[in-house]
């Protein structure tokens, strides 16, 4: 495992190591897994290009309020890179590279919970990205102590990526995705 860290410039404005520089150098190492602490700017383009060029084991954090906002933020951050790509091309890269968005929220009691697991499916006929929730958190109550209680359940949508697991010999039971199961 190799850990790379950004560095702010010195008082003379030199010596900065940006996350984009680190990400590009990481790709040259041909790792099997990459964990990108946070995508905030121009590195979004490099992230999408890596996803679409055979680097399949990439996890990244993007601060957004929903899976739909993740897609919107990625589009905006790609524009920050200065590359003049049409929006349909950016969206195509997103749908071909990004498969799953796991949304975590801080709830009113201060706890953090995964509230949605969504699949990035494809583009519709108008080049809008189709996102389908696979699992979602349903809040049932707030206890007298102020604790949020609820359950996480499947929506009934079978992910399109299940066939990839089959090809790898990994059997994922389809019952896992049947609706109305509390977990």
Contact call for residues 59 and 47 (beta carbons, < 8 A): no
The total number of structural domains in the chain stands at 2
Q: Which helix (H) or strand (E) holds 51?
A: helix 43-51
What end-to-end distance do the CA atoms of the chain give, in Å? 33
Query: Which region, left, alpha or beta, applies to residue 146 given φ > 0 means left and ψ of -120 to 50 means alpha?
Result: left
Clarify whether residues 91 and 174 are in a common domain: no
Residue 66 and residue 30 share a domain: yes
Q: Pick the last residue of a domain from 63, 98, 133.
A: 98
| Domain identity same for 93 and 24 | yes
Residue where a domain terminates, one of 56, 73, 98: 98
User: Same structural domain for residues 53 and 126?
Assistant: no
Give residues with Cβ within 8 angstroms of 21, minimum separation 6: none
**Same domain, yes or no, for 58 and 122?**
no
Same-domain status, 61 and 133? no
pLDDT of residue 31: 83
Q: Residue 56 maps to which CATH number? A: 3.40.50.300
Asked if 93 and 105 sit in the same domain, the reply is: no
Q: Exposure string (b/e) for 79-105, b if CB count within 10 Å is 16 or more?
A: eebeeebeeeebbbbbbebbbebebee
Query: Where do we find the tokens 């964990």?
Result: 35
Quick one: 8 and 64 in the same domain? yes
Order the strands of the 100-106 sheet from edge to edge: 100-106, 112-123, 129-142, 148-154
- Residue 66: what pLDDT? 97
Domain end, chosen from 79, 98, 117, is at 98
Percent of the chain scoring above 70 in pLDDT: 98
Q: For residue 177, what is the enclosing H or E element?
A: none
pLDDT for the residue 183 = 59
Quick one: 72 and 151 in the same domain? no
What token pair was written down for 68? 């739909």
pLDDT digit string (tens) for the chain, length 183 residues: 788 888 888 999 898 888 888 888 888 888 888 888 889 988 899 889 888 887 778 899 999 999 999 999 999 999 988 888 999 999 999 999 999 999 999 999 999 999 999 999 999 999 999 999 999 999 999 999 999 999 999 999 999 999 988 999 999 999 999 987 665
Domain range spanning residue 57? 1-98
């Amino acid at each position: 495992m190799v850990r790379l860290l950004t560095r702010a410039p010195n008082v003379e404005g030199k010596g900065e190591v940006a996350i984009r520089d680190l990400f590009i150098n990481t790709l040259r190492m041909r790792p099997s897994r990459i964990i990108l602490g946070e995508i905030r700017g121009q590195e979004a383009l490099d992230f999408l290009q890596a996803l679409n060029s055979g680097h399949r084991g990439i996890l990244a954090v993007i601060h957004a309020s929903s899976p739909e906002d993740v897609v919107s933020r990625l589009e905006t951050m790609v524009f920050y890179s200065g590359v003049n790509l049409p929006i349909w091309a950016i969206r195509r890269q997103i749908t071909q590279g990004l498969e799953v968005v796991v949304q975590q929220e801080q709830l009113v009691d201060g706890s953090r919970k995964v509230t949605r697991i969504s699949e990035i499916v494809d583009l519709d006929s108008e080049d809008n990205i189709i996102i389908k929730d696979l699992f979602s958190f349903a809040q049932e109550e707030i206890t007298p102590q102020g604790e949020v209680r609820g359950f996480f359940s499947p929506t009934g949508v079978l992910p399109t990526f299940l066939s990839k697991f089959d090809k790898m010999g990994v059997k994922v039971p389809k019952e896992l995705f049947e609706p109305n199961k509390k977990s």
